[in-house]
Amino acid sequence: LQNVLAQFHCFGDLATPLLMSAAAGEGTISMSCHILDTAQGTPARGMKIHLEQNIQGDEWVSIHRGTSNDDGRVTDIPKNLISGVYRMTFYTKDYFIQTNVEKFFYPVVSMIFTTTPNEHFHIPLLISPFGYTTYRGS
């Protein structure tokens, strides 16, 4: 199916969610994301993220690109995703530049994590110019 959809440029990035999402029910997962700027003590507004799913080996498929809202949350991650291995990349350099931070150590933060069927996965990022932390939230 992926090869067929790739031949039709009109689908663009819309082809990926068709491949990677499933009907609601058994085997699917949901995901949420919250980003906090610990140096400022505020939500990280306007940080861009990219969610990808690992297909096999080094092959990743784009699932979603989003931007955190005023509360630091990315609220439009697709629902009913297939469980598996995911990578979420946070574009911290762009965020630091837009918040007038001149010195920082991590231009991107990339997390790779494994999901299991029928669960919700909350992906928090606590960021500052010279460090970050994450954990599996609820």
Across the chain, which distance is largest between two alpha carbons, in Å? 47
Q: What is the pLDDT along the chain (138 residues), one digit of tens a residue?
A: 444 334 434 444 544 444 445 544 458 999 999 999 999 999 999 999 999 999 999 999 999 999 999 999 999 999 999 999 999 999 999 999 999 999 999 999 999 999 999 999 999 999 999 999 999 988
What per-residue confidence (pLDDT) applies to 65?
Answer: 98
Amino acid present at 128? S
Map residue 130 onto helix, strand or coil.
Answer: coil
- Per-residue model confidence as pLDDT tens digits over 100-115: 999 999 999 999 999 9
Tokens linked to 137:
């939230």
Tokens linked to 56:
């096999």
> What's the Cα-to-Cα distance from 73 to each of 11, 21, 33, 35, 76, rounded to whole Å?
27, 21, 6, 6, 9
The burial class, CB within 10 Å (0-12 / 13-18 / 19+), for 48 is: middle
Bridge partners of residue 52, in order along the sequence: 62, 87
What per-residue confidence (pLDDT) applies to 11?
Answer: 41
What per-residue confidence (pLDDT) applies to 135?
Answer: 94
